[in-house]
Amino acid sequence: MERPKFRRKKYFIHASTQFKYIAMSILPALFVGVFCVFLSINSGLILSSWTKANTTTGIDDLELKLDAIIRDTVPRNADEIGKLVALRKEILSYRLAVGSDHYRFLQEWNATMALMVVGIMGVLICVAVLALLYSHRIAGPIARIKRCLDMLADKKDIPPPIRLRDYDEFKELADSLNKLLASNRIK
């Protein structure tokens, strides 16, 4: 005989216990996520400052050399002055290019960080849903066993045997309680 399909009517059977279970499932994932974001932010900042420092240092060195050339030598004609001005413009364009590349790097880094935060939030939501679903395997049987024990304590009726789903926890406890109920029925 096939069992009827079970439809869940309530998602929180014993809400306080289930919320604690979900929180204890989410906390480790949250700590790991925050730690990963922290490491990523710091590594991005270090990488950003390192690349900016290395590229601007090279350009600064070129500018210092150009300034030394201009200071130590007197240009003799307009052609030499034109070359020095062109060199100065080229150095300036490199500086602007490095600045825009650095800015683009920072934009991409911020987008990556936003994606990481969204990903971590998605993982936390998945962990919460899985913890809720798994908590049903614990809270459901406990609620059924409690209902049975309450009926026994009220001495109204001998409750029917406790039936748990295949994937539920506490089957051994339910079996022991069913044996106790069966012995009470015999008396």
Domain ranges for the chain, please list them. 15-186
Distance CA 178, CA 40 (A): 55
Q: Which residue shows structure tokens 């150095």?
A: 91
pTM of the model: 0.59
Secondary structure element (H or E) that encloses residue 13, with its range: none
Q: What is the DSSP letter of 155?
A: T
State residue 5's pLDDT score: 62
Distance CA 33, CA 35 (A): 5
State residue 172's pLDDT score: 92
Q: What is the pLDDT along the chain (187 residues), one digit of tens a residue?
A: 565 565 667 777 778 888 888 888 888 888 888 888 888 877 777 777 766 666 666 677 777 777 777 777 766 677 777 777 777 788 777 777 777 777 777 788 878 888 888 888 898 899 888 888 888 888 889 988 998 888 888 877 778 888 898 888 999 999 999 998 888 766 6
CA distances (Å), origin 129, targets 4, 26, 165: 25, 10, 20
Let me know: does 116 contact 39? Beta carbons within 8 Å: no
State residue 7's pLDDT score: 65
Q: What is the DSSP string of 59-119?
A: HHHHHHHHHHHHHHS---SHHHHHHHHHHHHHHHHHHHHHHHHHHHHHHHHHHHHHHHHHH
